Amino acid sequence: MTGQHLPASTLAGLLGSWSDATGPAYRSLAERLRLLIADGRIMPGARVPSERELTDALGVSRTTVASAYRELRDRGYLTSRRGSGSVTSLPSKVEPELGRHHAPGIDTDGMYDFTCAASPAVPGISSAVTEALEDLPLHLATPGYHPQGLPALREEIAASYRARGLPTTADQIVVTAGALAATSIAIRAMTQIGDRVLTESPTHPNSVDAIRRSGCRVVAAPMSPHGWDLPLLEATIRQSSPRAAWLVADFQNPSGWLMSAADRQQLATVFARARTTAIIDETLFELSLDGQEMPPPFAVFDPQGVITVGSVSKSFWGGLRIGWLRVPEALVARILDARASLDLGAPVLEQLVVTRLLRSRSSILPERRAALALRRDTLAEALRTALPSWRFELPGGGLSMWCELPEPVSSSLVGVAQRHGVLVMAGARFSPDGGLESFLRLPYTLEPDTLRDAVERLASAYGSLTVGPPLRRTAAMIA
């Protein structure tokens, strides 16, 4: 919410169960409000309720609300003007451990960071860079702009799709600066302002933000406890007529579910019938951890109607910032037109590096998968030991575990966990339309010993949060 008045009833729902029995009420309220602002669920510029309005909505003392507002003003999260009320803001320097834009492993030094589902670089990148530098002089005599990507890289990517049973030419590949850029380009090309775009819930929050910033309306279809609810998805498509759909079919982020071949075929038929362009994110398909046979690419079931998003950020290293789109031939020009207003191409050196890494994937990725499988199993065992009341299903791949807590307290846990040296993201951050306060995403990308220690600290934080009187439930928390 930005530039608008935030009703007291709405804010009360967002706050959920904010009280922390371990400290003063005003400080708990201020911390919960600060988290909502720093996490982007209350946007800068939103006018908050008056002290009296929020006092009535929360059933607390006027002093509690006034003190909380004062602390937020002192820390730069609230700006007040006489006669105009108070609006949310961001301080000139947001605390890095709670800001949405921190650099994991750098800004968070000394903290266990569960906010980023990405691994350090695979071995071999330095060698690939050295080899790529040998070819770089061939490109220095050119302007260096490649709107569609280097031909050699596009051919490597196309070959990988052909190997998976999806006929693809290099001309159907558009190389981008990462998967998020690819998603933004595809949404911009296939939609207009005001169009509806279907997504899952839970799902990747940055991609949902990108869809909304394109001027589209997000329609979220909840996932079932065991994956995609196809009847609900089909009903949602019939009722909302989305122009496009953005889904993660391979080890869905954050749930870890893998869509079956049969479900892909059925859903592709539904999208084609509804004339909904399916934009399918497959950035995690390389990370199957149990040796299972992977379903074919979603686009196999509608090669001329499905746009596929890919990337090396999860499989090799996020610092390379190279992704791509596999595009039906008839849509390539449309995609390139949309891309021209965003950037003029991905960096040449990084494309040369990724070309070499893709040629060596068969020798690089098994080690990556083995390391992730060990860390996944380590995290699962640590959770079973230290937090036996938390429920989860072991994902067959990907980078994260989706945990269900006994109480809807994940947002409250964020601030408490930080004080115990652990950074986490609330489940609500993965919900396009609110809720999911009983869930928490835990990536298994840290070292095994670090994971064990982090879970012990998280268990201490959770224990301190749940000690005391029963938590107050609200309709917004249960929804």
DSSP 302-354: -TTTEEEEEESTTTT-GGG--EEEE--GGGHHHHHHHHHTT-S---HHHHHHH
The separation between the first and the last C-alpha atoms of the chain, rounded to the nearest angstrom, is 20
For residue 37, name the pLDDT band (cuts at 50, 70, 90): confident
pLDDT, average across residues 192-215: 94
Residues 137 and 258 in one domain: yes
User: Residue 387 sits in a domain of what CATH number?
Assistant: 3.90.1150.10
Q: For the chain, give the percent of residues with pLDDT over 90.
A: 68
Query: Residue 298: which pLDDT band, with cuts at 50, 70 and 90?
Result: very high
Q: What pLDDT is stored for residue 270 in this prediction? A: 96
pLDDT computed for residue 1 by the predictor: 45
Out of 311, 336, 359, pick the residue that ends a domain. 359
Does 103 reside within a domain?
no
Question: CA 40 to CA 26: how far, in whole Å?
Answer: 21
Question: Has residue 3 got a pLDDT over 80?
Answer: no
Is 403 a residue whose pLDDT tops 90?
A: yes
Domain check: are 118 and 213 in the same one? no
C-alpha–C-alpha distance, residues 173 and 158, integer Å: 7
112-113 and 277-281 beta bridge pairing = unpaired
Q: DSSP H helical segments within 196-285, as ranges?
A: 205-213, 230-240, 261-274
Which pLDDT belongs to residue 12?
85
Helix, coil or strand: residue 325: strand
Q: Does the pLDDT at position 40 exceed 90? A: no
198-208 mean pLDDT: 94
Beta bridge partners of 198: 219, 245
Using the predicted structure, report yes or no on whether residue 145 has a pLDDT greater than 90.
yes
User: Is the confidence at residue 159, as pLDDT, over 50?
Assistant: yes
Q: Which pLDDT does position 285 carry in this prediction?
A: 95
Kindly state whether residues 118 and 136 are assigned to the same domain.
Answer: no
Residue 279 and residue 146 share a domain: yes
Report the CATH number at residue 58: 1.10.10.10
Average pLDDT of the residues in 356-377: 96
pLDDT above 70: percentage of residues in the chain = 91
**What pLDDT, on a 0 to 100 scale, did the predictor assign at position 477?**
27
Q: Please indicate, yes or no, if residue 230 is contained in any of the structural domains.
A: yes
The sign of the dihedral angle between the CA atoms of 478, 412, 395, 308 is positive
- Rounded mean pLDDT, 129-140: 94
pLDDT tens figures, 273-293 = 999 999 999 999 999 999 999
Whether the upstream peptide bond of residue 151 has omega within 30° of 0, thus cis, is no
My answer on whether 181 and 285 are in the same domain is yes
Residue 286 belongs to a domain: yes
Q: Does the residue 442 lie in any domain?
A: yes
Report CA torsion sign: 294, 298, 302, 307. negative
- How much is the pTM? 0.80
Q: What pLDDT digit, counting tens, does each position of 323-346 carry?
A: 999 999 999 999 999 999 888 999
Burial annotation 380-419 (CB, 10 A radius, 16+ → b, else e)? bebbeebbeebebeebbbbbbbbbbbebbbbbbbbbbbbe
Instruction: State the burial class of residue 100 (Cβ atoms within 10 Å of its Cβ: 0-12, 13-18, 19+).
Output: middle
Please compute the mean of the pLDDT values over residues 52-74 and round it to a whole number.
Answer: 89
Instruction: Please check whether residues 386 and 402 belong to one and the same domain.
Output: yes
pLDDT score for 21 = 55
Amino acid at 460: S
> Mean pLDDT for the chain?
89
Residue 231: inside a domain: yes
The per-residue pLDDT for 109 is 66
Do residues 424 and 442 make contact, with C-beta atoms less than 8 angstroms apart?
Answer: yes
Are residues 68 and 182 located together in one domain of the fold?
Answer: no
Q: What is the CATH number of the domain that holds 323?
A: 3.40.640.10
Q: Is 98 inside any structural domain?
A: no
CA distance linking residue 30 with residue 14, whole number of Å: 13
Residue 377's pLDDT band, with cuts at 50, 70 and 90, is: very high
**Can you give the pLDDT at residue 289?**
97
Neighbours of 15 (CB within 10 A): 23
**Count of C-beta atoms within a 10 Å radius of residue 249:** 24
Give domain status of residue 241, yes or no.
yes
Q: Out of 75-84, 156-165, 423-432, 434-443, which region has the weakest mean confidence (pLDDT)?
A: 75-84
- Cα dihedral angle (390, 246, 342, 323), rounded to 10 degrees? 70
187 and 322 housed in the same domain: yes
One domain, residues 67 and 145:
no
Q: What is the pLDDT of residue 472?
A: 36
At 139, which amino acid appears? H
User: Considering its fold, how many domains does the chain have in total?
Assistant: 3
Q: Is residue 260 domain-shared with residue 375, that is, in the same domain? A: no
What are the pLDDT digits (tens) for 342-363?
Answer: 889 999 999 999 999 999 999 9
pLDDT at 102: 58
Domain limits for position 32 = 8-88
